[in-house]
Chain A
Amino acid sequence: MTLTAAGCGGASESAEGRTLTVLAAASLTETFTALAETFESTHPGVKVRLSFGGSSTLAQQILQGAPADVFAAAGPATMKPVTEARLTAGEPRVFARNRLVIAVPPGNPGRVHALRDLAGRKLKVVVCAPQVPCGDAAQRALRAADVEITPASHEQDVKAVLTKVRLGEADAGLVYRTDVRSAGGRVEGIEFPEAAEAINDYPIAALAEAPRPKLAREFIDLVLSPQGRKTLTEAGFESA
């Protein structure tokens, strides 16, 4: 069954063993896994294959012709090359927003309370590289707060920032609120007002060359449905 599904992308959707492929930003790991289970339970015989990664990497994969049905990115900038290459079916829709917080190790050894506490002192601060969505958001927030910091490291993605804070190597890091939520009690999150200047919109789109266009639309409907929004807000996202 799976063989036929994998072997021919053009197979009719009524065929047995239908597989829907969803590429999603790493920060959506927990929520999209839950939503995929819901989708499978309401669509018997359908298997949702999830592939999580950095949004830019996923966008590159789509541009290089990776077969997929749905793409959910962690920012409009990473969706843009895909829409520009006319590889999306219709306009992408924003389904969630994420806000930066300062993550600190439990007990807050560096005694950080606001964004300006990250500057000037001998604290080890890690942020995402400016090239990736979380790093872009961090730069916008710091600019809004008029704070200049010298980070110890420009990490490749937000989960790497979180790891450095969790291990206590960094005194503070800028991550999404959802990351702090998913880390349980192993990091503390500190909200700061300037985060409002750096809210990340998460767009989702069906892909133009989706092998399963109908299922792709239905999956997106689920993400945008009240149930989808509930799953997302419970994980710390703000609804769009």
Chain B
Amino acid sequence: MNAHARVPWVLLVLALLGLAFLVLPLAGLLIRAPWSTLGARLTEPQVLEALRLSLVTSTLATALCLVLGVPLAWVLARTALPGRGLVRALVTVPLVLPPVVGGVALLLALGRRGIVGRWLEAAFGVTLPFTTAAVVLAEAFVAMPFLVISVEGALRGVDRRYEEAAATLGASRWTVFRRITLPMVAPGVAAGAILCWARALGEFGATITFAGSYPGRTQTMPLAVYLALETEPEAAIVLSLVLLAVCVVILAALRDRWVSPP
């Protein structure tokens, strides 16, 4: 109680303003939602289809980010590679790149005429754009930095003496990584994965540019929201609410379970 009494009022006022700034648009959505027709709209097959696609692709994208991003974070935190600063800057590129530009970049790299995509088509007959796989790749592209940054931070915060002790006892670097490092940074990995998943779930620009928009195949919730906005703003509000509700429920559940506050 004492601690509460001593909160400087300046901080308190600014904190409340900050909260209001984040919550106000949300209130706008809730107030303007067409509550009377909500039930009917929610059970429309297109809504469920888009929701299912969104959940599946963002989960796959997060898995991809974990497989590739955790090793990348480890390399950044634990090795003295030359040009590491540059690598770290490159990792954060998708954060500052407008997602639509990211989508164009993905097309130029992995599209049918892209530098890698051309070869994929010639060798395997695989074309990525307009497929669900393209949605996963677009989401992973924009979401991976969130994972890498938070895992790298966690790795730097770990007490190195445990790893050193294990190494002294003869454990290989791979064993140390698996048995010592990974369990110690697990909360950081979980937090990063959650951020990454949330970013993937909300991804719009890169997805619509690289994967296009087709119901059931590449039209995720954010794309459906944008399209609905063209004709039926009320439907767009409903879709946004669904996305929001799913996100809040899952994040709240996972946070309590994995990333309990100290």
Is A99 at the interface (CB under 8 A from chain B)?
Answer: no
Taking a contact as CB atoms under 8 Å apart, the answer to whether B130 and A152 are in contact is yes
Q: Is A140 an interface residue, CB under 8 A from the partner?
A: no
Q: Which of B111, B213, B218 is the one whose CB lies under 8 Å from A169?
A: B111
User: From residue 195 to 210 of chain B, which have CB atoms closer than 8 A to chain A?
Assistant: 208-209
Mask, A43-76, CB within 8 Å of B = 1, is 0000000000010110010000000000000000
For the complex, give the distance between the alpha carbons of A155 and B211 in Å: 10
Task: Bin the interface of chain B by size.
Answer: 20 to 34
User: What residues on A are CB-neighbors of B255 within 8 Å?
Assistant: none
Taking CB atoms, residues of chain A closer than 8 Å to B129 are 152, 164, 169
Given contacts A153-B218, A155-B213, contact A169 B231 (CB under 8 A): no
Q: Are A169 and B208 closer than 8 Å at their CB atoms? A: no
- Using a Cβ cutoff of 8 Å, how many contacts connect chains A and B? 61
Verify B212–A153 contact, CB threshold 8 A: yes
Q: Please pick, from A60, A126, A129, the residue contacting B227 in the complex, using a CB distance under 8 A.
A: A129
Q: Does B112 contact A (CB under 8 A)?
A: yes
For B128, the closest partner residue in chain A by CB is A169
Which A residues are CB-close (under 8 A) to B228?
131
Task: Choose one: B113, B214, B227; the contact of A156 (CB below 8 Å).
Answer: B227
Partner of B107, one of A56, A126, A167: A167
- Check if B226 is an interface residue, CB within 8 A of chain A: yes
Asked if A169 meets B227 with Cβ closer than 8 Å, knowing A60-B233, A154-B214, the reply is no
Instruction: Report the separation of the CA atoms of residues A131 and B218 in the bound assembly, to the nearest whole angstrom.
Output: 17
Tally of A interface residues using CB under 8 Å: 21
Asked if A156 and B112 make an inter-chain contact with CB atoms under 8 angstroms apart, the answer reads no
Q: Answer yes or no: B230 CB below 8 A from chain A CBs.
A: yes
Residue of B113, B129, B209, B233 with highest tally of chain A CB at under 10 A? B129
- Tell me the complex Cα distance, A54–B231, Å: 11
| Proximity bits, A144-166, B CB within 8 Å = 1, else 0 | 00000001111110001001100
Contact A156 B226 (CB under 8 A): yes
Chain A, residue nearest B131 (CB)? A152
The interface bits of chain B over 173-209 (1 if a CB of A lies within 8 angstroms of the residue's CB, else 0) are: 0000000000000000000000000000000000011
Interface: B244 (CB within 8 A): no
A168 to chain B, nearest CB (A): 4
Let me know if A132 is at the binding interface, CB within 8 A. yes
Other-chain contact of A167, B111, B130, B233 (Cβ < 8 Å):
B111
User: Given A167-B107, A169-B107 in contact, is the A57-B230 Cβ separation under 8 Å?
Assistant: yes
Whether A164 contacts B212 by the Cβ 8 Å rule is yes
List chain A positions with a Cβ less than 8 A from chain B: 54, 56-57, 60, 124, 126, 129, 131-132, 151-156, 160, 163-164, 167-169
- Listed by A's residue number, 17 A-B pairs whose Cβ atoms lie within 8 Å are A56-B230, A60-B233, A124-B130, A129-B213, A151-B214, A152-B130, A153-B211, A153-B212, A153-B213, A154-B215, A156-B226, A156-B230, A160-B208, A160-B209, A164-B129, A168-B111, A169-B130
